[in-house]
Amino acid sequence: MKNKISKGGEIARLIRAFGYSLAGIKSAFQNEAAFRLEVALFILFAPLALWLGSNGVERALLLGSLLLVLVVEVINSSIEAAVDRIGTEHHTLAGRAKDMGSGAVLLALVNAALVWALILLDQFYF
């Protein structure tokens, strides 16, 4: 039989989880230069996304592509931190994990560039 969690306990758990999430974002901002740069670019491009998008779908795609870069960067940073925690000596699998995380960030950046290019080309040239 499962333990029943009271509604008050469930809300407290959600509040704690939210706090842990904010701590993770704060840690990424404090410790990762790439994340800080991407946040700065998000702050710069988010208003442009709202202005340039001609409808809700376009705005969602423009903003979502920017947010995806931040999400993938946080995941990449967590992979790097976990690998570094295990050891600093070179290991093929550790290098592969870090390279794959970096590759994921590159793919997210390419995705953002393609989304922006396709939407802007459609608006201004087609």
Q: Which are the catalytic amino acids?
A: 73
Q: Are 58 and 40 in contact (CB under 8 A)?
A: no
Query: Within a 13 Å sphere around the CA of 48, how many CA atoms are in the beta-carbon half?
Result: 11
- Spatial CB neighbours of 75, under 8 Å, sequence gap ≥ 6: 101, 104
d(CA 37, CA 43): 10
78: its two tokens: 């967590």
Q: Which of 108, 114, 109, 119 is nearest to 49 (CA)?
A: 119
